[in-house]
Structure 1
Amino acid sequence: MASLAGQHIEEMADIRLTRKRKIVSICSLASCGLFLYHTIEQALAAHLSIALLNGAFALLSLVVFAYLQRSGKGLNADLILSAILLLGAMPMIFHTTPNPDRLLWLFPILSAVILINRFKIGLLLNLLFCLTVCLTLLVSHPAQGYPIQTAYSLVIALIFTSLICHAFAFYHYRLISYVHSLYLEGIEDLAYTDKLTGLANRWSFESWAKEKLKDIDATPTTCITALIFIDIDNFKTINDNYGHDVGDKVLQHFARRLKNNIRNKDRRTDKHDYSIARFAGDEFVLMLYDVKSRQDLDNILKRIIALYRTGYQANERIQGLTLSLGAAIYGQDAVELSELTRCADKAMYKAKHAGKNRFAYYNEDEQKRFSNPLETYQTASMSNVSPLIPRQRPSKH
C-alpha cells in the first residue's frame, strides 16, 4: 500500500520542491567532482592560483550538498549552486593558456544551470552566460589563440545545447504546473474519498491509519485506540427488494449520519482525518483514538448502533434498519493494522451471529460484553442531521 502512487498525491502537488532538491543534490556532487578534477589538473600544470580557486569551488559545492541533506528544503540552494558554477566557468573562458578542450566543460555547466532552476530564472542565467561566452570567443579569439572556425563551432554547439535543455525544462515545467492545477481542482478528493458516500476509501484509510498508529506508538498514552468494523444488517435484502438505487441512498444516508455523529478531526491539529471510511460494499470502518476509557468507547459504539433508531429512515418503505459492530483494541488484540482489521471483522461477525443490532469486542474475555442497545441506551437527539428525502418505489414481491 505504501508504494501506491495515490499515497503521494499531496507530495506531487509540491513536486517542484522535491524535484529541485534531488536535482540540486546530484548537480552539487557532480560540480564538486568537476572542480576537483580541474584543481588537480591546474596543480599539475603549476597554475596554483587557479588550482586553489577550483578547490574553493569544489568545497562550496560540497557545502551546498550538505546543506540540502541537513535542511531538507534547501531554500535558494539552486541559486547558490548556479553562482558557484558560473563563477567556476570564468577561469575556463578567460584562461591565459588557450585550450579548446577546456571549453567542453562549459556544456555540462550550462545544462546544470538550466535544469536546477525554475524555467524563467534558468532562461535568464543561460542568456547571460551564453552572451558572455559568445562575446569572449568571437571577439577575443585571436588573443586567446583559438581558430575562428573553432570559436564559431563552440558558439553554435553551445546555442543548440541551450535550446535542447530549455525545451526539456519548458515542457517539464508545463507538466508539473498541470499536476499542481489538478491537485488544486480536487484530484486529492478523487483519489482519497469514496465516490458514493464522500467518506475516505479503503486505500486512504489504511495509509492514514498506518501513520496514525506510528504516532500513537511514538507518544505512549493511557487512552484507548480501537478499530471498529460496521456492517448494515440485511443490506443484500434491501438491494434485492428495492433496487440498488435505494441501496445506494441507504449507504449515503448512513455515511452522512456517521460523519455527523463521530469526531473525524484531530484534536491537536483541528484538521479532518481519514478515520471514517467505506471499506467495501455495505461495510464501514473507523478508527477511534484518544478515547479516555472503556466506558466512553462503549457509549460511542452504542451511539453508532442507535443511528437508525431516531424516528425516520432512509426510505419510508424500509423500516427497522440495524447495524452490527465489531471492535478490536490496538495493543490488546493486535499491534499491526492488517491484524487489527481482521480482529475487528471477526468481532463484527460475532455480533451478527449473536442476533445483530449490537456490538461485540474481539477479545475472548469480552464475550460477555455483547450489547443490545435496546436495553442499555437511550438515543440522543439527532436534530443536527438531515434525513434523506424518501422516494416512492413499488415493492417487489
Structure 2
Amino acid sequence: MSNLVGRRLQEMAALRASRKHKMVQICSIVALTMLFLYGGLHLIQNNLVFALIDISSGIILSLNLFLLNKKQHSNHATLVLCGILLLQGGMLLFYGGHGAGSLIWIYPIIAAVIFASEFRTGLVLSILFCVIATVTVLFIDPSVVGDLTVSRFLVSLLALCLLCNTSSYYYDQAVNYIQSLYREGIEDLAYMDQLTGLANRWSFESWASEKLEEERDSKTITAMIFLDIDNFKSINDTYGHEVGDKVLQYLSSRLKNNVRNKDRKTEKHDYSIARFAGDEFVLLLYGVNNKQDLENILNRILHLFEDCYQGPEKIGKLAVSLGVALYPEDATNLAELTRCADKAMYSAKHNGKNQFHYYHRKESTIEKKTTLTNVDNVTPLKHRTP
C-alpha cells in the first residue's frame, strides 16, 4: 500500500511540469491555427501590416513549439507564447475595429496566458493587460469596444481575470502541498530508519562529521555513545523477529523521548540518535557542560528500560550496554571515534553487561606511539550497573 501511495505521490509531484508542458502545447497549436488563418485573411484583404505581424508571430510560435517538444523545457516557451498572445491581445484592443479580428478574442487570450503560466507570472501579466485595457477604453479611445458598453467590457474582463487567477492559485497551492508530501517521503526514505523512525547510519554519519568540526574547539564535552541491547539474540530466537522488531521500536521511542535530539541554538531536531545496525544504536552527545552531567545522562539511559517491556510476550526487563568515546581526546575523526565507542561497548558487555564503559587509550612502549587498544585491553575508567 505504501509503495502504491509513493508512486502516486511521485506522479502527482511531476504534475505541475507535465500540465504546464501540455498547456503550452495546446495553446500554441490553437494560436498557430488562428494566426495563420487570420494572416491569410489579412493578405486577401490587403492588410499587409497585420498579415505580416500574424504570419511572423506564427513562424516564431512554430519554432517555439518545435524547441519545446525537442528539449522538454517549458519556461522559455511559456514566455514566448505569452508574449505573442499579449501582442495579439493588444492589437485587438487598439485595432480591433479596423481589422478582421474581434474584441471577443481577448477573453480566451487572457485565460490562456493565466493557465499556461505559473500563478505569479500569470497574475502579473493579466493585471498589466487589464490596466492597459482600462486606460485605453476610459481615457484614450472608448470606441474600441464596439457594440459593447465600456462598463460591460471592463467588468467582464476583470471578472474573467479574477476567476482564472483564483483557480490558478488554488491549483498551485494543491500542487505545492503534494510536492512537499513527496519531498518529505523521499527525505524519510533517504535519512530515516524505516523500522524505528530514528536517523539511519548514513544520515547520522553525514550530520555527525559536520557536527564534530563545529565542536572541535568547544569548551564543552562531546561524546560518542555506542549502545547495544543485551541478550537481544535470545529475544529473537525465543520470541521471533517480529517481537524483536517491536523491542527495537520500543527502545527507539524511549531514546527519542528522553534524550535531547535537537540543537539548543536552533531548536531544530538533528540526527544525533541513530540506529547503526541490527540492535546497535549510536548517540552523539554535544554541548555537555562537564563529566558529571555526561555520567548523569549515561545513567539515565541505563535506567530507561528498567520497566518491563509492555507486550503480551512478557519479555521482562531490557538491559543495554554502553560504550563511550570522548572527542577529541580519544579520536579526532568520526570513524575512529565510532570504533573507540564500539570497543568500549564490548568491554562493558564482557564485564557484566548493563553498564557503561569509557574507552581508554594507552601508550605502546614497543611502537613508541599512541595506539588504539584491542577490545580485551579496553579499561573501564567508569562503569555503572543499575
TM-score for both structures, normalised by structure 2: 0.53
Residue 208 (str. 1) matches residue 207 (str. 2): yes
Deviation at 1:314, TM superposition (A): 5.2
Residue 189 (str. 1) matches residue 188 (str. 2): yes
For residue 326 of structure 1, what is the aligned residue in structure 2? Answer: 323
What runs of 5+ residues in structure 1 fail to find an aligned partner?
Answer: 1-117, 139-149, 375-397
For 2:381, which of 366, 369, 375 is the aligned residue?
369
For residue 295 of structure 2, what is the aligned residue in structure 1? Answer: 298
Q: SS state of the match for residue 252, structure 1?
A: helix
Query: Larger C-alpha radius of gyration, 1 or 2?
Result: 2
CA pair 313-361 structure 1, distance change in 2 beyond 3 A: farther
Residue 343 (str. 1) matches residue 340 (str. 2): yes
Deviation at 1:193, TM superposition (A): 1.2
What one-letter code is carried by the residue in structure 2 that aligns with 1:343? C
What one-letter code is carried by the residue in structure 1 that aligns with 2:199? A
Residue 169 (str. 1) matches residue 74 (str. 2): yes
Equivalents in 2 of 1:333, 1:353: separation in Å? Answer: 21
CA pair 213-247 structure 1, distance change in 2 beyond 3 A: same
Residue 248 (str. 1) matches residue 245 (str. 2): yes
For residue 51 of structure 1, what is the aligned residue in structure 2? Answer: none
Conserved 8 A contact 1:358-1:370 = no
Deviation at 1:154, TM superposition (A): 7.1
Equivalents in 2 of 1:350, 1:230: separation in Å? Answer: 12
Tell me the alpha carbon deviations over residues 330-376 of structure 1, each in whole angstroms, 9 at most, x when there is no partner: 111111111111111111111111111111111236824241323xx
Tell me the alpha carbon deviations over residues 23-54 of structure 1, each in whole angstroms, 9 at most, x when there is no partner: xxxxxxxxxxxxxxxxxxxxxxxxxxxxxxxx
Equivalents in 2 of 1:306, 1:369: separation in Å? Answer: 20
CA pair 235-315 structure 1, distance change in 2 beyond 3 A: farther
CA pair 313-290 structure 1, distance change in 2 beyond 3 A: same
CA pair 214-287 structure 1, distance change in 2 beyond 3 A: same
Conserved 8 A contact 1:229-1:325 = yes
Residue 264 (str. 1) matches residue 169 (str. 2): no
CA pair 192-327 structure 1, distance change in 2 beyond 3 A: same
Deviation at 1:259, TM superposition (A): 0.9
For 2:61, which of 159, 165, 170 is the aligned residue?
159
Give the paired residue count: 242
Conserved 8 A contact 1:225-1:329 = yes
Deviation at 1:272, TM superposition (A): 0.9
Equivalents in 2 of 1:204, 1:258: separation in Å? Answer: 17
Percent identity of equivalent pairs: 55
Q: SS state of the match for residue 260, structure 2?
A: coil
Conserved 8 A contact 1:226-1:327 = yes
Deviation at 1:231, TM superposition (A): 0.3
Deviation at 1:157, TM superposition (A): 5.0
Q: SS state of the match for residue 324, structure 1?
A: strand
Tell me the alpha carbon deviations over residues 76-133 of structure 1, each in whole angstroms, 9 at most, x when there is no partner: xxxxxxxxxxxxxxxxxxxxxxxxxxxxxxxxxxxxxxxxxx99xx99xx9xxx9xxx
Deviation at 1:166, TM superposition (A): 4.2
What one-letter code is carried by the residue in structure 2 that aligns with 1:306? H
CA pair 172-260 structure 1, distance change in 2 beyond 3 A: farther
Equivalents in 2 of 1:164, 1:358: separation in Å? Answer: 71
Conserved 8 A contact 1:306-1:373 = no
What runs of 5+ residues in structure 2 fail to find an aligned partner?
Answer: 1-19, 41-51, 79-174, 363-377
Conserved 8 A contact 1:224-1:291 = yes
Q: SS state of the match for residue 308, structure 1?
A: coil
Deviation at 1:265, TM superposition (A): 1.2
CA pair 357-171 structure 1, distance change in 2 beyond 3 A: farther
Q: SS state of the match for residue 373, structure 1?
A: coil
Tell me the alpha carbon deviations over residues 258-288 of structure 1, each in whole angstroms, 9 at most, x when there is no partner: 1111001110111111111111110011110
Q: Tell me: higher relative CO, structure 1 or 2? Use CA pairs within 8 A at least 6 residues apart.
A: 1
What one-letter code is carried by the residue in structure 2 that aligns with 1:161? L
State the Cα RMSD in Å.
4.2
What one-letter code is carried by the residue in structure 2 that aligns with 1:372? R
Conserved 8 A contact 2:348-2:355 = yes
For 1:308, which of 296, 301, 305 is the aligned residue?
305
CA pair 245-212 structure 1, distance change in 2 beyond 3 A: same
For residue 285 of structure 2, what is the aligned residue in structure 1? Answer: 288
For residue 278 of structure 1, what is the aligned residue in structure 2? Answer: 275
Deviation at 1:191, TM superposition (A): 2.1
